[in-house]
Chain A
Amino acid sequence: AQTVTQSQPEMSVQEAETVTLSCTYDTSESDYYLFWYKQPPSRQMILVIRQEAYKQQNATENRFSVNFQKAAKSFSLKISDSQLGDAAMYFCAYSGPSGSRLTFGEGTQLTVNP
């Protein structure tokens, strides 16, 4: 079974600084997808970024980028120029080929200090 591990229950960053959230996963599949979802206090689950395992290039979305290390089964999220609105719980998630369930990590609570 696939597992996702986030080893940092809490992280904090100063506004305008950069922070990296860690995630490792375990799978025997070769074709899969990795995601970072953000859950602010409103509890809405918001997709931040997505990585396809067959793509070597790391995904980027504005201030958000990932460091995908397939051999190490590592998928970290870097947030640049942190903003107060980035404060939220961040979940790393794995899914197999198209149309399959998401397996989530435990989450990392990110605090942004002004």
Chain B
Amino acid sequence: DSGVTQTPKHLITATGQRVTLRCSPRSGDLSVYWYQQSLDQGLQFLIQYYNGEERAKGNILERFSAQQFPDLHSELNLSSLELGDSALYFCASSVDDQAGKNIQYFGAGTRLSVL
């Protein structure tokens, strides 16, 4: 168990809908990362939050947004869903301390199926 919790494990929805994926980082970790894993794109970085603030953006679509709350949990919102958004979405967290360990621990993922 990595200590990173993602809910729900599975999500089935229809095109055009909106969903919210939730992530609780490991205790003490300030950084949260979101990644998308799909058959055609592989594992791609979407966005990073550090202590409530957006720190880095990757290949995240404008239809997608995220936030990190004061208790450090994070949510990834996906809207106007398309068939191509079907993927496994991972959340990872890291402590980002001065030692620069930079080890990211992954949650079990949320499998999104858009029908």
Chain A interfacial positions (CB closer than 8 Å to B): 33, 37, 42-47, 50, 91, 95, 97-104, 106-107
Chain B interfacial positions (CB closer than 8 Å to A): 2, 31, 33, 35, 42-45, 48, 50, 55-56, 58, 88, 90, 92, 94, 96-97, 100-106, 108-109, 111
* Cα distance A91–B43 in the bound complex, in angstroms: 9
Is the beta-carbon distance between A43 and B109 smaller than 8 angstroms? yes
Query: Using Cβ atoms and an 8 Å threshold, which residues of chain B touch A102?
Result: 33, 35, 43, 45, 92, 104
Interface of B is mostly: strand
Query: Using Cβ atoms and an 8 Å threshold, which residues of chain B touch A45?
Result: 90, 92, 106, 109
Known pairs A97-B102, A100-B48; list 20 more (Cβ under 8 Å). A42-B108, A43-B109, A44-B106, A45-B106, A45-B109, A46-B106, A97-B100, A98-B97, A99-B102, A100-B56, A101-B33, A101-B48, A102-B35, A102-B43, A102-B45, A102-B104, A103-B45, A106-B42, A107-B42, A107-B43
Is the beta-carbon distance between A104 and B102 smaller than 8 angstroms? no
Interface pairs (25), CB distance under 8 Å = A43-B109, A43-B111, A45-B106, A46-B2, A47-B104, A95-B104, A97-B100, A98-B96, A98-B97, A99-B31, A99-B48, A99-B50, A99-B96, A100-B56, A100-B102, A101-B56, A101-B58, A102-B33, A102-B43, A102-B92, A102-B104, A104-B42, A104-B43, A104-B44, A107-B43
